[in-house]
Chains A and B, each alone.
Chain A
Amino acid sequence: MLADTLLNVIVLIAGPVIIAFLGAIFGLLYLGVDRKLVAHMQGRIGPPIVQPFRDVDKLMVKESIIPDSAIAWLFKATPILCLVGSISLLLYIPLFGQNAMLTGFGDAIVVMYLLTIPSLALVVAGFSSSSPYATVGAQREMVMMMSYEFPLAMSIVVIAWRIGLVTNLNPFMLSTMAAYPIWGLVGPLGIVGLLILVFSMLIVTPGELGKIPFDVAEAETELAGGLLVEYSGRNLALFYISNAIKSFAVVSLVVAIFFPYNLSPILGITATVPAVILDVLFFLLKVFVIMFICVIVVRAAVARFKIDQASKFYLLIMSAVSLVGFVFILLDVII
């Protein structure tokens, strides 16, 4: 009994550490792939794929300056808060074709709330550094958070509602979504609706991650780095890592909701080790494809929106698009 409890405690402590490491490694790796591919698309050679690791490595040996006018304890606490928020996001999302670490404890709604924590940490960081650039960046980040929330929530809730019609399990659980892949439940009209919802989710993703064309909060050229303008050294490295982890987590969430398929059952592989390896590779491929569509190509192809354009785009156009998707799925159920 005691040994069991002890084992549980060890698993609970070691699990998140391992997941955090894996998330950081793959997040930074995808960031490197992103930079390399964007460079190729622009006709450049681009940095090697391991470049983000070198950046983090370098930031770790730099001096961490805390400005005199900043609120020191908030300024130092927010990078850690941001990192913790991103890592706890990973614990609730099914990764590598396996179940989530905390499966059964939290559902898609919890994930949606956790998604706001890194952004909120960034906002607090911006305000606490008391630089006018950072303050403007923080305000922009808040506007963005309010803007993309509706289409994001719409996609998740509509799918959970549709799955809830065919099962008694809690449909908001990501494990339920994996057990009842949404594409098999709907007719032709529903497929159209789902494609529209996938589209709106893919458009929400770069906004969520603060990538071009929605990187209004960081806006290198006008805001000189925006929220993070006063951060340097180790604190900046923590933000860098948590951004990488968050990108990985958000794209994994899209995979978990819309494409929860594994390759091994389809190919009929039952032995544990090859099946796990195959699923991990297939998961990484799915993450790459989604990242390629909604981050890499978009980043190379378009310029930055102004803050009012970005906000209007999400609040009006993308909300309308996701509602149209909802109507299609509703019609599919009624007819």
Chain B
Amino acid sequence: MGLKSFKRALWVYHLNTGSCNGCDIEILAALTPRYDLERFGIVLVGSPRHADVLLVTGPVTNQMAPRLKRIYDQVPEPKMVLVIGNCGVEGLVFHESYNLSGPVDQIIPVDVYVPGCPTRPEAIIEGVLKAWLKLEKPVKEKVT
């Protein structure tokens, strides 16, 4: 029961950890009429407590690292983390910069990487699809 509904009702929370706003705009583009993520039941929510998926953009700065961890802890189980953009994946031009706490996967466990600078909306949709496939597994084990 829960398995099917999970695939079709993902609520997404978006967190900017020092991104240049390029990827954030692409996330918004994925919600606009052209791509319309809501037709798959994907909704952008305002609170991490409501979310199933955490979308992280940006190479985590020192200031954002503890906050990222705290917000990750606030998302109820079962949850997914998507990294959007090359910055979050490996740092890009900010690689090994003195004020970075490293890419996202140094701080919280990441499930899906979506590279691109900025990421295309199609790639974000593809990434969320991968997250569906991955979410199926733990939920199936939990339910049955």
State the A residues within 8 Å of B (CB): 35, 39, 42-48, 51, 53-55, 57-58, 60-65, 133, 220-221, 223-225, 228-233, 236
Contacts and interface: CB of A to CB of B under 8 A. Distances in A.
Contacts of A64: 76
B38 A63 contact: no
B28 to A, nearest CB: 12
B50 A46 contact: no
11 contacts: A39-B36, A43-B33, A47-B40, A54-B5, A60-B2, A61-B143, A221-B46, A229-B46, A231-B49, A231-B50, A236-B49
B59 to A, nearest CB: 24
Given A61-B6, A221-B46, A231-B49, A45 B39 contact: yes
Given A43-B33, A61-B2, A231-B49, A54 B41 contact: yes
Given A51-B9, A58-B6, A45 B139 contact: no
B37 to A, nearest CB: 9
A220 B76 contact: no
B47 A54 contact: no
Interface of B: 1-2, 4-6, 8-9, 11, 33, 36, 38-41, 45-47, 49-50, 52, 74, 76-78, 139, 142-143
B47 A57 contact: no
B135 to A, nearest CB: 10
A65 B76 CA distance: 7
A47 B38 contact: yes
Contact of A230 (B2, B49, B52, B77): B49
A147 to B, nearest CB: 24
B41 A225 contact: no
Given A44-B36, A57-B1, 7 more contacts: A39-B39, A46-B38, A62-B52, A63-B76, A65-B76, A220-B45, A229-B47
Contact of B50 (A43, A44, A47, A232): A232
Contacts of A133: 47
A223 to B, nearest CB: 7
A51 B50 contact: no
Contacts of B36: 39, 44-46
B15 to A, nearest CB: 12
B12 to A, nearest CB: 13
Of A46, A65, A221, A228, the most chain B CB neighbours within 10 A belong to: A65
B139 A220 contact: no
B74 to A, nearest CB: 7
A304 B136 CA distance: 37
A135 to B, nearest CB: 14
